[in-house]
Amino acid sequence: MKTPRNLPAEVAQAAGLPVPVPPPAAPARLLVKVCGMRDAAALAGVAALEPDFLGFIFAPRSPRFVGDALAPEVVRGLPASIWKTGVFVNETTDNILAAAHRFGLSAAQLHGQEPPAQCEELSEAGLLVIKAFSVGTAVDFAALLPYVPHCDYFLFDTKGAAPGGNRAVFDWNLLSSYHLPVPYFLAGGLGLAHAAELAALQQSGRLPGLAGVDLNSAFETAPGVKDAGRVRQMLAALRPA
């Protein structure tokens, strides 16, 4: 029997389960995920900057939908050091795994109302799992508990008309009482103006569990076309020498 992710070692031992692999620890610097890539030239420019994650949206209603804009071999050919992340909204497990196989994805981000059982299925299939949650005026941490055993990261994004890419920032202080063992990404309208504050947040520990940031619309010249120059500036601010 597989031990659920993030289960304390002493609990696993008491239940007769194998001791789990520890969850990803908070890095010395913030992880950076650049999401919504769909232009091959822009993708090459951003990939050369070596972000930790690159995100590809497989939700047809999104203006950043990959569709036929990127050949699978282009995504497959990205450096192995970058987590190639497929972003899905209420998609079936079979379709997610088919896309992962076709594009060589190493991670799946679920940005809809996917249940914990689907996170478990994708984890069992070998994908790193990121579950996104929309944040309005409050965060119900209790509602996240069923996802804890099956997710490598959570992602908190601003609630809006679309599942993501709403170009708005939520109140980060809502996460100041976060106490779950799953590290998380901060998303929602993040831009260069937030760089110094984000770097300081990670160092201060004011937002427990903060592991990375998700960059999208503020770094675009058009939907899905990222400006490598802006991304470079953000990485320089978040990755001090």
| Model pLDDT, residue 203 | 79
The answer to whether residue 82 scores a pLDDT higher than 90 is yes
- Measuring CA to CA, how many Å separate 100 from each of 39, 56, 69, 90, 103? 19, 11, 16, 15, 5
pTM of the model: 0.87
Counting beta carbons within 10 angstroms of the beta carbon of residue 199, is it exposed (0 to 12), middle (13 to 18) or buried (19 or more)?
middle
- The residue extents of the domains of the chain are 41-238
Q: How confident is the model at residue 1 (pLDDT cuts 50, 70, 90)?
A: very low
Task: Place 2 in a pLDDT band, splitting at 50, 70 and 90.
Answer: very low
Look at 24 and 44; give whichever has higher pLDDT.
Answer: 44
How high is the pLDDT of residue 103?
Answer: 97
Give the confidence band of 72 by pLDDT, cuts at 50, 70, 90. very high
Task: Tell me 127's DSSP state.
Answer: -
The bridge status of strand 153-158 relative to strand 53-57 is unpaired
> For 177-236, what is each residue's pLDDT tens digit?
999 999 999 999 999 999 999 988 877 888 999 999 999 989 999 999 999 999 999 999
Cβ atoms of residues 42 and 228 within 8 Å = yes
- Which percentage of the chain shows pLDDT scores above 90? 76
Instruction: Give the confidence band of 21 by pLDDT, cuts at 50, 70, 90.
Output: very low
41-238: which CATH architecture? Alpha-Beta Barrel (3.20)
Q: What pLDDT sits at residue 204?
A: 84
Tell me: pLDDT of 86 over 80.
yes
Q: pLDDT at residue 9 above 70?
A: no
Q: What is the pLDDT of residue 201?
A: 87
pLDDT 10s digits, 98-155 = 999 999 999 999 999 999 999 999 999 999 999 999 998 899 999 999 999 999 999 9
Distance CA 235, CA 214 (A): 12
